[in-house]
């Protein structure tokens, strides 16, 4: 009896740790992009190594959680849902890492008169992710509350879309000083930043169905 409780306790600790890691990863992404936009090179390099470490930790924890849950037949009815939900959480930190690396590899140039929009885009997109992560925690403790928490995610995702559209309009309609290659390059970075909130929305959709299932 105590063995099964021991495994359960360990799994709870690992799930909490995994969610915290993903949350930190998203925060590091935000800070990293802001560092890049503000031309803080040293801090940006730190964020690159931080997100690398956090992503590796998240992967390790995710594999451990999957192994232990299946090995000890924990949550037999909802294990596949939980595993796919945690996979979506992992996708958040994965995409945050990939996108931050793109800044380091492609060194996009952000003209002064559009940086503010990119800062707003980053903050809003990351906010969507920061709203969905507490809902993941709540799913494990109070699933009935999850759906109420997700409205903020959809709001920030929607706001991100609007900001992204306005950036693209500005790039292609107003900023005649940039050549087409630059415009396209900057458009892609708007899409990369926006993808964080898209992933948050996908996670929110998954959570919403899971919460409904568990409450039934």
The residues that touch another protein, with contacts defined as CB under 8 A, are 1, 4-5, 8, 11-12, 15, 73-78, 82, 139-143, 214, 216
74 vs 178, which CB is nearer to another protein? 74
Q: What's the count of helices (H) and strands (E) in the chain, helices before strands?
A: 7, 0
Q: Is 111 helix (H, G, I), strand (E, B) or coil?
A: coil
CB of 141 to another protein, least distance (A): 5
At 88, list the tokens. Answer: 């979506």
What is the full DSSP assignment across 141-184?
Answer: H-GGGHHHHTHHHHHHHHHHHHHHHHHHHIIIII-TTS-HHHHH
CB of 142 to another protein, least distance (A): 5
43 vs 78, which CB is nearer to another protein? 78
16 vs 106, which CB is nearer to another protein? 16
CB of 144 to another protein, least distance (A): 9
CB of 215 to another protein, least distance (A): 10
H/E segment holding residue 17? helix 2-37
38 vs 80, which CB is nearer to another protein? 80
56 vs 144, which CB is nearer to another protein? 144
CB of 57 to another protein, least distance (A): 20
3-state secondary structure 120-138: HHHHHHHHHHHHHHHHHHH
């Amino acid at each position: 009896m105590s063995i099964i409780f021991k495994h359960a306790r360990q799994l709870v600790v690992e799930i909490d740790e995994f969610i915290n890691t993903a949350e930190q990863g998203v925060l590091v992404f935000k800070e990293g992009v802001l560092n890049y936009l503000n031309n803080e090179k040293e801090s940006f390099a730190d964020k690159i190594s931080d997100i690398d470490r956090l992503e590796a930790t998240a992967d390790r924890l995710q594999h451990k959680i999957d192994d232990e849950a299946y090995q000890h037949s924990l949550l037999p009815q909802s294990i596949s849902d939980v595993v796919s939900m945690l996979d979506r959480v992992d996708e958040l930190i994965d995409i945050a890492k990939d996108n931050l690396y793109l800044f380091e590899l492609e060194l996009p140039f952000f003209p002064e008169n559009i940086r503010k929009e990119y800062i707003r885009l980053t903050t809003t997109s990351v906010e969507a992710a920061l709203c969905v992560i507490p809902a993941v925690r709540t799913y494990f403790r109070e699933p009935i509350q999850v759906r109420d928490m997700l409205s903020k995610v959809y709001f920030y995702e929607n706001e991100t879309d609007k900001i992204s559209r306005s950036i693209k309009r500005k790039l292609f309609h107003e900023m005649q000083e940039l050549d087409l290659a630059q415009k396209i390059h900057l458009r892609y970075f708007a899409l990369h930043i926006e993808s964080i909130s898209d992933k948050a929305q996908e996670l929110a959709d998954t959570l919403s169905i899971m919460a409904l299932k568990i409450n039934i």
